[in-house]
Structure 1
Amino acid sequence: MAKITVGMSAPDWQLPDTSGQLVTLQQFQGQWVVLYFYPKDDTPGCTAEACAFRDNYEAFQTAGAVVIGVSGDDTPSHERFKSKYNLPFILVSDANNQLRRTYGVPATFGLIPGRVTYVIDPQGVVRLVFDSQFDFRAHVDKALAVIKATP
């Protein structure tokens, strides 16, 4: 499994969102993208992280960033999760974990899908890789800091 690191070009991908429409990284070229991988919809940690992104969504928009959450849950699960917590950003379904493997997102304890956030600049270069299974809020704070610090 390759591992995407800071300074590398982010690999493109194509996955369905909550409505079943295919979303690609390429369609956001010219914008900042916060691509965050999380273990599972509607679990305590994942809900805390998603709500932190929701609560700071306006700051991401102001900074010109798109937020995209990725997990192996199917699109109906994502739709319920998005609706229940009024999540304003994109959730995509990586049902076969191919994108997780492409980016090299590790599993915690070899079992739990990892929680890793990638910040991708408008040219498609990875500017942050933050891996923390338990510091949910830091994913938001670190992503915003990198975007705001770059002219």
Structure 2
Amino acid sequence: MLNVGDTAPDFELTDEEGEVVTLDDLLSEGLLVLYFYPADFTSVCTAQACEIRDRHDDLRAVSANVVGVSPQGQSSHNRFRDRYDLSFPLLDDRQKKVIRAYGVNGPLGLGVRRVTFLINPDKKIANRVVADFRVKQHMDLIDSVVEDLGGY
């Protein structure tokens, strides 16, 4: 798994609309909150996505982007986004190429760990949270980004 100070691997994935999204695209406006989650529509993943949705405007106000990555496809992501009114991209990594590159695959390569990375525009990992079942720790990282950059 990547650590603070490591360089984030480049990637190219499609979002829920089928549009190609790259790491460079996401970093073009500033910091990136890149979060990996196991599956659409599960209770913890839904809670996390809704918490991020509720903070999305605050992140954008400090020029930070957020994107979720999981091994579900565009159709699932589209339904998940629409059902919970998510305002940020969900990227399709069914092949688990990015999941493996960031080292967030589960034990024995099965599943996906719940990990959030804060990535600087220079592609360096500035912070990371690994908490498979505790959404609050992930939200604390997001809140700290808003507070630090927004001067609250």
| Matches of 2:100 and 2:14, distance apart in 1 | 17
| Matches of 2:132 and 2:51, distance apart in 1 | 15
Within-5 A mapping of 1:1-151 = 3-30=1-28, 31-107=30-106, 111-146=110-145, 148-149=147-148
| Matches of 1:104 and 1:73, distance apart in 2 | 18
Task: Give the drift of 1:109.
Answer: 8.7
Over 2 Å off, 4+ runs: 108-112, 146-151
Task: Give the drift of 1:28.
Answer: 2.7
| Matches of 2:60 and 2:136, distance apart in 1 | 18
Native 8 Å contact 1:15 1:24 kept in 2:
yes
- What secondary structure is seen at the aligned counterpart in 1 of 2:16? coil
Q: Specify every segment of 5 or more residues in structure 2 that has no aligned partner in the other structure, as ranges.
A: none
Native 8 Å contact 2:58 2:146 kept in 1:
no
Native 8 Å contact 1:48 1:136 kept in 2:
yes
Q: 1:39 to 1:140 in 2, by over 3 A?
A: same
How many residues align structurally? 149
Q: Which has the higher strand share?
A: 1
Task: Give the drift of 1:62.
Answer: 1.2
| Matches of 2:146 and 2:6, distance apart in 1 | 17
Native 8 Å contact 1:128 1:146 kept in 2:
no
Give per-residue Cα distances to partners, 1:47-82, cap 9 Å, x unaligned.
000000001111111121111000000000000000
Native 8 Å contact 1:127 1:146 kept in 2:
no
Q: Which has the higher helix share?
A: 2
Task: Give the drift of 1:111.
Answer: 4.4
| Matches of 1:64 and 1:115, distance apart in 2 | 24
